[in-house]
């Protein structure tokens, strides 16, 4: 347990991993202001059509994530997404788009930091909405700079993922449990940040170890008896159509693809460079709300 929760590196509590089963759908934007916008009182779902250079995709925006729904509709009506590239594509994971800086971007340009200048408060409706294949979710900055899990104002991704055998369900639940424990531990460590920094400056390794052991014990006690479990719907989805379960409860899922997953699959299989950008540009030609 102590190897998992280490105070030595506590100043960087949420490092983005890059192995195949722990990828993150993050953005590199530094914007921190939250958009001030009115929340619609209704819970009406909305259909949006995306015309891409590889075919058409129809997405359903959930009515119970109204801030994300309304923001997406606003951007679509403004033509914001017209011409943006799918700038990050990872096979058996997801396809990501929505960076305005990608419009007409030359080959090799670093992408993923662009946006409208605001973030959206998280609307994580879990486990009702989860990262099954075809789920639509908002990209965001990593936890160490975004502990409230606020979403990018424009960047989103569509889940592709992979199918998991039933024998791996227990391992998935264990991973979710460890993620929960890390979140609890990180919150507790943050509350002791001044103390940790002081002991680090003084080279007080014994003090750091003692604090770490105490926080680990408190974390275990708080997490005991409330281990995350996948719902029957999640188990069925992840063992049949697939998805990316390690992202569950971490990002706002605010819609899903209802037509055009064959197009998503084409984009997913595109040849990419070292930055996961398709070698040949794939773009959203136009987006429109279906009335």
Over residues 61-83, the pLDDT tens digits come to 999 999 999 999 999 999 999 99
| Interatomic CA distance for residues 234 and 169, integer angstroms | 10
Distance of alpha carbon 265 from alpha carbon 91, whole angstroms: 9
Contacts of 237 (CB under 8 A, 6+ apart): 130, 132, 133, 243
The DSSP code sequence of 200-248 is: HHHT-HHHHHHHHHHHHHHHHHHHTT------HHHHHHHHHT-B-GGGT
* pLDDT tens, residue by residue, 217-232: 999 888 887 777 899 9
- Kindly report which listed range (36-40, 48-52, 53-57, 171-175) carries the lowest average pLDDT score: 36-40
Q: What does residue 122 show for φ and ψ, rounded to 5 degrees?
A: -60, 145
- Say whether pLDDT at 4 is over 70: no
Q: Based on the number of CB atoms within 10 Å of its own CB, is 115 exposed (0-12), middle (13-18) or buried (19 or more)?
A: buried
Predicted pLDDT of residue 22: 56
Which residues partner with 158 through β-bridges? 95, 136
Which residue reads 């605001």 in tokens?
Answer: 118
pLDDT tens-place string over residues 129-149: 999 999 999 999 998 899 899
Structure-model confidence comparison of residues 48 and 28, the more confident one: 48
> Given a cut of 50, is residue 39 above it in pLDDT?
no
Residue 6 has a pLDDT of 57
What does the pLDDT read at residue 30? 46
Give the pLDDT score at 179. 81
pLDDT tens digits, one per residue of 83-125: 999 999 999 999 999 999 999 999 989 999 999 999 999 999 9
Across 35-44, 54-63, 109-118, 245-254, least confident range? 35-44
The pTM assigned to this predicted structure is: 0.80
The candidate with the shortest Cα–Cα distance to 281, out of 291, 266, 270, 268, is 270
pLDDT at 173: 86
Distance CA(14)–CA(183), nearest Å, equals 9
pLDDT of residue 187: 84
Distance CA 133, CA 261 (A): 9
Relative orientation angle of helices 193-202 and 169-191, to the nearest 10 degrees: 80
- Mean model confidence pLDDT for the chain: 88
Domain architecture of the chain: domains with CATH: 43-163+241-290 (2.40.100.10), 169-223 (no CATH)
Q: For residue 40, what pLDDT is reported?
A: 43
pLDDT interval class at 205 (50, 70, 90): very high
Task: Please tell me the predicted confidence (pLDDT) of residue 11.
Answer: 37
Phi-psi domain of 229 (left: phi exceeds 0; alpha: psi -120 through 50; beta: other): beta
Residue 43 neighbours by CB under 8 Å, 6+ apart:
63, 64, 66
Which of 140-144, 178-182, 260-264 is the most confident on average? Answer: 260-264
Q: What is the mean pLDDT of residues 231-256?
A: 96
Please check whether residue 245 is in contact with residue 234, taking contact to mean a CB–CB distance below 8 angstroms.
Answer: yes
């Amino acid at each position: 347990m102590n190897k998992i929760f280490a105070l030595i590196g506590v100043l960087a509590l949420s490092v983005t991993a890059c192995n195949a089963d722990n990828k993150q759908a993050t953005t590199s934007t530094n914007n921190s202001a939250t958009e001030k916008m009115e929340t619609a009182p209704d819970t009406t779902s909305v259909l949006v059509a995306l015309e891409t250079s590889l075919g058409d995709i129809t997405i359903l925006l959930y009515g119970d994530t109204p801030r994300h729904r309304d923001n997406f509709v606003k951007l679509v009506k403004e033509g914001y997404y017209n011409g943006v590239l799918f700038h990050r594509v990872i096979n058996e994971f997801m396809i990501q788009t929505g960076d305005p800086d990608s419009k007409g971007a030359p080959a090799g340009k670093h992408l993923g930091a662009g946006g409208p200048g605001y973030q959206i408060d998280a609307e994580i409706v879990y486990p009702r909405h989860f990262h099954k294949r075809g789920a639509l979710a908002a990209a965001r900055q990593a936890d160490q700079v975004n502990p409230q899990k606020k979403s990018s104002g424009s960047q989103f991704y569509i889940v592709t993922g992979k199918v998991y055998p039933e024998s791996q369900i227990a391992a998935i639940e264990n991973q979710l449990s460890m993620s929960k424990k890390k979140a609890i531990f990180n919150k507790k460590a943050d509350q002791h940040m001044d103390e940790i920094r002081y002991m680090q400056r003084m080279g007080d390794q014994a003090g750091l170890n003692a604090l770490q052991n105490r926080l680990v014990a408190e974390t275990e006690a708080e997490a005991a008896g409330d281990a995350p479990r996948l719902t029957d719907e999640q188990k069925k989805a992840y063992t049949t159509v697939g998805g990316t379960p390690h992202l569950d409860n971490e990002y706002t899922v605010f819609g899903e693809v209802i037509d055009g997953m064959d197009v998503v699959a084409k984009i997913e299989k595109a040849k990419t460079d070292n930055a996961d950008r398709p070698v040949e540009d794939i773009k959203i030609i136009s987006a429109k709300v279906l009335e």
